Amino acid sequence: MGRPDLTEISRFLMSNLDDPDVQELFQHANEDLAKLDQTTPNLSEVNYASLPIEHETVWIINMQFGGMKTATGELLRDDHPAHVKERAYQSFDLHAWNCRGEGSRPDLYRYMQNYDRTPPNSKQVEEFIKLAMAHPHPIFKPALPHLLILSANLSHHKQALKPFLDSLPAPFKWKDTPAEIEDTIRDMVYENGKELFNQYVASAKENKASGNSAYAAKNREAAVAFFEDAIKYLDRAFRRYTPATEAIKQDAMKLKVVCHANCSAARLMGGNTSQENAEKAVDDAEDAILLDTFYVKGYMRLARAYQALGQRSDAEEAVARALRLKEMENDEGLVDLLISIQTCGKGLPAPGTELAKEWVSVTFSDDSERAERMKSVNGLWRKRCEAHMKEIQGSSY
């Protein structure tokens, strides 16, 4: 039996994504990919004509709309606030898909690159093709295809690309995508994207589970590292691929929210939290809230992070932000946490004490910072505190 070629291997991998060994292989490849993204070679030093030609292999150079991004680089969602949407910009993805033969289904992409704000120009497309040849993703080796096909939405770069592509030796060939098969290619790319999206999400889930285990074992460094890796996998999934359904997309987004919140909690575990860890915990919690405005634990993590920084007023405001939302104003956990922050963990003061008198003044006096903050907080917090105030006022100080 002959040695299997690369396309046979990649086809096997794509059809066995649920296999733990295959998932582990992809995880290692993705780690190498992250390193690869940071090390771009000097393309002017590459002798492309000397690269081996992969016979019967076809590459499809395809451009897709990559979605709208926020100012922080995240994909724009329907629930982002208006001021975030106003600053959003478009992005585009270039893929170099590897196929066994013309008209066959892409196995994997050799290279992928994202371009923000405007589609890639001719120079960038040529550079991308050179990278796919000389600096592909780790599973591939530098090579030329037997046939390179430009998708229809890149055909206007043909004249600019012609000098370089025509300089490559036979049997290498290149051409535009025939209009009649453009839809077929688009469908194939879309199907591959769904599979790869699922693979990245699976890797994220695995890292989240490992992070939870490390957290339970009180290993802060390991827990943070696992949660950070889970977030990176999800970022890569959303940045580069398309989920099969809206439900799958929402499940993956919920997973990202939880990973940000868990990472925030992990940074604070064990006491003696450094300022750097506490500040990063604030960022993680804010990211969770940005992704899901109604995620209770996001606000709790944010408050805890501010407490670790010694910023009690900010911690109080973090919980008040949540309780101002009608959907969350009766959440007992948030109300308990807010009262704990406001009373330094002592709980509502007993009636008939000087502490009770001071609490009423600080909480309800018109000229106090807290009273101003809590004016728009209703629901359970107000019911509980006003009932306690009446009890205090009904007793002698």
223: Cβ–Cβ under 8 A, 6 or more apart, which residues? 211, 212, 214, 215, 262, 263, 266, 269
Closest CA to 193 of 129, 230, 237, 229: 237
Closest CA to 396 of 358, 364, 334, 351: 351
Which of residues 243 and 391 earns the better pLDDT score? 391
Compute the C-alpha angle 33/37/43, nearest 5°.
120
Predicted confidence (pLDDT) at residue 298 exceeds the cutoff of 60: yes
| Residues 393/360, Cβ–Cβ less than 8 Å | yes
270 exposure class (CB count in 10 Å sphere: 0-12, 13-18, 19+): exposed
191 exposure class (CB count in 10 Å sphere: 0-12, 13-18, 19+): middle
User: For tokens 């932000």, what's the residue?
Assistant: 321
User: What is d(CA 370, CA 35) in angstroms, rounded to the nearest whole number?
Assistant: 48
> What pLDDT score does 8 carry?
53
Residues shown for the chain: 397
> What pLDDT score does 89 carry?
92
> What pLDDT score does 61 carry?
92
Neighbours of 157 (CB within 10 A): 21
In sequence order, what are the beta bridge partners of 114?
Answer: 93
Neighbours of 13 (CB within 10 A): 19
pLDDT band at residue 212 using 50, 70 and 90 as cut-offs: very high
User: What is d(CA 74, CA 80) in angstroms, rounded to the nearest whole number?
Assistant: 11
Predicted confidence (pLDDT) at residue 262 exceeds the cutoff of 90: yes
Q: Which long-range contacts (CB under 8 A, 24 or more apart) does 332-337 make?
A: 332/380, 333/296, 333/300, 334/296, 334/299, 334/300, 334/381, 335/379, 335/380, 335/381, 335/384, 337/300, 337/303
User: For tokens 């990211």, what's the residue?
Assistant: 287
- Strand order across the 144-150 sheet: 106-116, 89-99, 53-69, 144-150, 173-176
- What percent of the chain has pLDDT above 90? 50
Predicted confidence (pLDDT) at residue 126 exceeds the cutoff of 80: yes
Predicted confidence (pLDDT) at residue 1 exceeds the cutoff of 50: no
User: What is d(CA 301, CA 263) in angstroms, rounded to the nearest whole number?
Assistant: 9
2 exposure class (CB count in 10 Å sphere: 0-12, 13-18, 19+): exposed
pLDDT in tens, 301-351: 999 999 999 999 999 999 999 999 999 999 999 999 999 999 999 999 998
Strands 144-150 and 106-116: unpaired
- What percent of the chain has pLDDT above 70? 81
**Would you say the C-alpha torsion 224, 230, 234, 235 has a positive or negative sign?**
positive
| pLDDT mean across residues, the chain | 84
User: What is d(CA 193, CA 201) in angstroms, rounded to the nearest whole number?
Assistant: 12
